Homo-oligomer: A and B are copies of this chain.
Amino acid sequence: MTGGRLQIFGLSGIGEITPTTDLSQVIAAAATGSDAIVDGDVVVVTQKIVSKAEGRLARLADDDPHGRRIVEDESHLVLRRRGELVISQTRHGFICANAGVDLSNVDAGWAALLPEDPDRSARQIRDGLRHHTGAEVAVIVSDTFGRVWRRGVTDVAIGCAGIGAILDLRGTGDAGGRELAVTEVAVVDEIAGAAELVMGKATSVPVAVVRGVDRSWFRRGEVRAEIVRPPDEDLFR
């Protein structure tokens, strides 16, 4: 006997993305046949191609080949430094390495910055996918973050649209009927991580589709409003 069921598949054939690319059109075109985007799909788009489509790129100065000054510019507040590593808070409130600035998978001499407002980016892609496919989907913009107490990186959501970022199961009761203390699940982060499993890192699969999520999760949602922890709740800065 089985519970819920998900399918997750990557979309390849996305090609090079520039500020003139209609990203949602390219995504819709890459999803064909039985993989065509349908109502209820969650489309996970990596930050890198969103930043490229939005022109969020900065040229590296000759005297700053690793973009250290760009990292400082993108940091609202630097929390820790160790060697080349900078852990900082971005203007969005994310705390991550190098303020999300990334030199991989961009043209030599350029750095990719985080989108200005990744929740807005997700909403725009969602609107575009509705226009190009007719489907009502949710969209997650994902990025790769480290963790304080666990080695290895995982993909998390930096923006979302059409899906609650956190699913509140608080007080729905456990199987024994008693109250559950804390069960506010960051489903958009779990979906972003799941999508990463079919993307790999160097395989030109910057978009994945997660099919079969509970329809009750589809609502207005925002990573910034729901997931970013306010400084006064933070016990470790």
Contact = CB atoms under 8 A, between A and B. Distances in A.
Contacts of A203: 3, 175
Contacts of A183: 144, 153, 201-202
Contact of A184 (B30, B151, B205): B151
Given A3-B208, A148-B148, A202-B180, A197 B191 contact: yes
Given A87-B235, A151-B186, A3 B200 contact: yes
A146 B107 CA distance: 37
Given A8-B8, A190-B197, A235-B80, A227 B1 contact: no
Contact of A12 (B2, B80, B202): B2
A1 B156 CA distance: 24
A200 B148 CA distance: 26
Nearest to A217: B197
A215 interface: no
A183 to B, nearest CB: 5
A146 B183 CA distance: 10
Most buried by B among A151, A166, A180, A235: A151
A71 interface: no
Interface residues on A, range: 35 or more
Given A197-B194, A208-B3, A226 B151 contact: yes
Contacts of A194: 6, 8, 190-191, 193-194, 197
A235 B82 contact: yes
B197 A155 contact: no
Nearest to A97: B182
B202 A173 contact: yes
A155 B154 CA distance: 12
Contact of A152 (B154, B172, B197, B227): B227
Give the 5 A-B residue pairs with the shortest CB-CB distance, closest first: A3-B10, A152-B186, A194-B194, A3-B205, A4-B198
Interface of A: 1-13, 30, 32, 35, 79-80, 82, 87, 94-95, 97, 103-108, 144, 146-156, 165-166, 169, 172-176, 178, 180-187, 189-191, 193-194, 196-205, 208, 213, 226-229, 233-237
